[in-house]
A and B are shown apart, each in its own frame.
Chain A
Amino acid sequence: MTAEQATALIAERFAGAQVTAGIPLVVMVPPDQWGAFAQFAKETLGCQFFSFSSAVDWKADGLEVIARVENLDAGFAVMMKTRLGPGVSTCASMVPVYRGANWMERECWDMFGIRFEGHPDLRRILLEDSWVGHPLLKSYAVDTPYPPYR
């Protein structure tokens, strides 16, 4: 499996995905195919290694979830991206496919408030349970009073 073969396979299987060649291979997946693409990346593309997952807040354009998975044997990586769309904060969880995604998605929930459906244990991981809001959202005011500390 090379990056070119992977590109061809993705184009064949996921017509709605836009692939940008490069290192890593950037794949923009429609949000409803997020879970299926993770399964495909692990089983067909051989991307056994889950590197990280995070999110980006594009303000009016909504949230974007990103994840990087790698095929360590063939030496290529796939950067998966999906745009959830304005006002949407639910996404399919990758935990059934990659167990390493568990804490990463908890952090995503903590910081961006993205509710991963199918996640076994979606709690806050870095901030305390009593925290109000999700601080990495652009709409979060960092000077929100938090007596007596802030």
Chain B
Amino acid sequence: MAMKPPNVPVIPAPVWRNFKELQEWEQLHKTRPEGDQHSQAFTSLTEGIHGFPGGFLVTTTADAFLNWARKSSIWPVTFGLACCAIEMMATFASRFDVERLGMVPWASPRHSDLMIVSGTVTIKMAPMLERIYAQMPDPKWAVSMGSCSNSGGPFRHGYHVVKGVDRVIPVDVYVPGCPPPPESLLNGLLLLQDQISHFRKTGRRAPPTPKVD
């Protein structure tokens, strides 16, 4: 008895047929001017409203509202580099549950607001890290998790280790520890929320927390 061949669905072609097209598309995005366009539009609008009597009340409230929205839906890109990533996963999991703070680990830098650099950054990995950070839309934040990404940590005197991820990307919160337990990372994320609630309408960052290492 002859078997009937199974009905195999036709898979549509991917949007980017090859790596070169993806690179060209990324180049297009890189040529975009520095800074967050939406924030700048908002700034000029608020400058206008400031001219009205009592207008500052409106802008302050709008700023507070937008920052509340920003800090209540931080989506960290899932970016685990080393053993700190295990603690990061524990933080994301049900026991510590950062989802109650509005944080959803998201597997795409295009939709993320936060990068948690969890682990040793090697010189070979640093360009990729920079690239993923560049792929994230503004406004964006970065948390340096653990001694390795703060300063190089126990591997500081290795030949291949970047001596602190702040040599590659700007960092907002440094979380000390080797590795930091989930409570510690959670504290860092709460500090970041606090920073975001003071996010300036100019798009400038709040000063980073003092570096502890």
Contact = CB atoms under 8 A, between A and B. Distances in A.
B111 interface: no
Contacts of B168: 148-149
Given A127-B124, A128-B124, A149 B167 contact: yes
Nearest to B127: A128
A60 B160 CA distance: 25
A142 B157 contact: yes
B62 interface: no
A108 to B, nearest CB: 16
Interface in A107-150: 126-128, 135, 140, 142-143, 146, 148-150
A140 B167 contact: no
Contacts of A127: 124, 160
B123 A149 contact: yes
Interface string B172-213: 000000000000000000000000000000000000000000
Interface size range of chain A in the complex? 10 to 19
Contacts of A143: 157
Nearest to A133: B159
A135 B157 CA distance: 12
Interface size range of chain B in the complex? 10 to 19
A70 to B, nearest CB: 31
Interface string B137-170: 0000000000000000000011111110001100
Given A127-B160, A135-B159, A135-B160, A146 B123 contact: yes
A128 B125 CA distance: 10
B158 A149 contact: no
A55 to B, nearest CB: 16
A147 to B, nearest CB: 9
B157 A150 contact: no
Contacts of B167: 148-149
Contacts of B124: 126-128
Interface centre among A128, A135, A148, A149 (most CB of B within 10 A): A149
Given A128-B124, A149-B123, A142 B159 contact: yes
B56 to A, nearest CB: 41
Nearest to A141: B159
B86 interface: no
Contacts of B159: 135, 140, 142
Interface in A64-110: none
B160 to A, nearest CB: 7
A113 to B, nearest CB: 14
Given A127-B124, A128-B124, A149 B157 contact: no
Nearest to A136: B159
Contacts of A128: 123-124
A125 to B, nearest CB: 11
Nearest to B163: A150
A148 B160 CA distance: 13
B129 to A, nearest CB: 11
25 contacts: A126-B124, A127-B124, A127-B160, A128-B123, A128-B124, A135-B159, A135-B160, A140-B159, A142-B157, A142-B158, A142-B159, A143-B157, A146-B123, A148-B167, A148-B168, A149-B123, A149-B126, A149-B162, A149-B163, A149-B167, A149-B168, A150-B123, A150-B161, A150-B162, A150-B163
